[in-house]
């Protein structure tokens, strides 16, 4: 079974090393309160993969202290997440005043010798998602071998629809999360459109990663207009104003999030999750900066 800290984004299998954070320093972080009562900011926990692996409880406490309320998990395998059972994780999170909202899962078609993918052990994964209280289960990433042709994407839609029906029967909404390659033309078509057009509107929603779409020159607001009310989830991550277009904290880059958030109703957005695949500073510090900048905008 893979370690849950392995990367599944950006087309790389190799684990991305990030700057570490001494766990003893987590308690020194300032608390950030939401700018208005009831506002819920989400976090994709992948940003903190090394910290979670080293000390799950202390890392979750740091996330809660910053002010995040909704969490998206990754790495479910063989009935566990981050080395604990679904019920144990839910209790840890809810005791800190947060909720588990969404989870990322792989197709299982390539290099996934564990149970808990769309192709293997999916029913158990759905049961465990219910135990965690998840509202969404999301296909997180396609390996290069899974996306060589448009026909590959068309076959994928069959698996997505099938997996989504199982999730829906359990009261969970299914989604698909993009990277950059879904917005790069392949055989004269955009793969993301093939996915959206080939899946049932009621069964499959989009989790639009605003960074990856923007990085290749695609305007997220065009997607909202083409598929209104179907983008229930967003990944909110920023892009540095450099030649490499590296990841940066929300508000420290060039993406116009205020304009994008103005279209949240058209999108149908229900939840958004801050994420930063690679951090140039300690990851907990990065997510605190993103949180504060969102607060400043009044989002």
Range of the domain at 230: 37-297
Q: How confident is the model at residue 112 (pLDDT cuts 50, 70, 90)?
A: confident
Q: Name which of 220, 203, 218 is nearest 261 in CA terms.
A: 220
19 lies in some domain? no
pLDDT computed for residue 26 by the predictor: 39
Q: Is 4 among the domain residues?
A: no
Token pair listed for 28: 């020194």
CB-based burial, 186-222: b 16+ in 10 Å, e otherwise:
beeebbbebbbebbeeebbbbbbbbbbbbbeebebee
Tell whether 278 is covered by a domain: yes
List pLDDT tens digits, range 59-71. 999 999 999 999 9
241-251 tens-digit pLDDT? 999 999 999 99
pLDDT at 19: 30
The pLDDT > 90 percentage for the chain reads: 85
Residue 17 falls inside a structural domain: no
DSSP 118: S
Phi, psi of 187 (to 5 degrees): 55, 40
pLDDT in tens, 71-102: 999 999 999 999 999 999 999 999 999 999 99
102: in domain? yes
User: Domain count of the chain?
Assistant: 1
Q: How many Cβ atoms sit within 10 Å of the Cβ of residue 132?
A: 23
Q: Does the residue 225 lie in any domain?
A: yes
pLDDT tens across 125-138, in order? 999 999 999 999 99
Extract the tokens encoding 264: 């949240």
The predicted-structure confidence for 173-221, as pLDDT tens digits, reads as follows 999 999 999 999 999 999 999 999 999 999 999 999 999 999 999 999 9
Domain containing 178 — which CATH number?
Answer: 3.20.20.150
Q: Give CA–CA dist 5/48, Å, rounded.
A: 9
| pLDDT tops 70 at residue 35 | no
CA distance 226 to 192: 12
Strand partners, 71: 43, 100
DSSP annotation of 36? S
23 in a domain, yes or no?
no
Identify the band that residue 57 occupies on the pLDDT scale cut at 50, 70 and 90.
very high
DSSP-assigned beta bridge partners for residue 248: 238
206 located within any domain: yes
Q: What is the pLDDT of residue 39?
A: 67
pLDDT of residue 31: 45
Q: Which pTM does this prediction carry?
A: 0.89
Give pLDDT tens digits for 209-226: 999 999 999 999 999 999
């Amino acid at each position: 079974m893979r370690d849950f800290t392995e990367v599944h984004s950006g087309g790389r299998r190799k684990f991305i090393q990030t700057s570490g954070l001494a766990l003893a320093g987590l308690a020194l972080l300032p608390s950030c309160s939401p700018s208005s009562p009831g506002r819920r900011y989400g976090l994709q926990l992948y940003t903190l993969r090394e910290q979670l692996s080293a000390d799950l409880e202390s890392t979750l406490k740091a996330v809660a202290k910053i002010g995040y309320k909704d969490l998206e998990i990754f790495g479910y395998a063989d009935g566990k997440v981050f080395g604990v059972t679904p019920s144990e994780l839910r209790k840890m999170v809810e005791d800190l005043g947060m909720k588990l909202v969404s989870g990322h899962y792989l197709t299982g078609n390539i290099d996934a010798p564990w149970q808990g993918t769309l192709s293997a052990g999916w029913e158990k994964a759905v049961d465990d998602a219910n135990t965690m209280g998840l509202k969404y289960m999301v296909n997180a990433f396609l390996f290069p071998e899974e996306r060589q042709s448009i026909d590959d994407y068309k076959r994928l839609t069959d698996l997505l629809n099938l997996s989504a029906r199982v999730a829906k029967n359990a009261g969970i909404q299914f989604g698909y999360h993009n990277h950059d390659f879904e917005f790069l033309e392949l055989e004269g078509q955009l793969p993301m459109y093939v996915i959206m057009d080939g899946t049932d509107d009621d069964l499959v929603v989009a989790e639009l990663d605003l960074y990856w779409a923007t990085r290749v020159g695609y305007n997220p607001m065009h997607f909202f207009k083409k598929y209104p009310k179907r983008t229930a989830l967003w990944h909110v991550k920023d892009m540095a104003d450099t030649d490499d277009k590296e990841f940066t904290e929300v508000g420290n880059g060039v993406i116009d999030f205020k304009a994008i958030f103005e279209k949240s109703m058209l999108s149908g957005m229900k939840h958004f999750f801050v994420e930063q695949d690679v951090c140039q500073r300690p990851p907990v510090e990065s997510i605190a900066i993103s949180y504060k900048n969102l607060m400043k905008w009044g989002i």
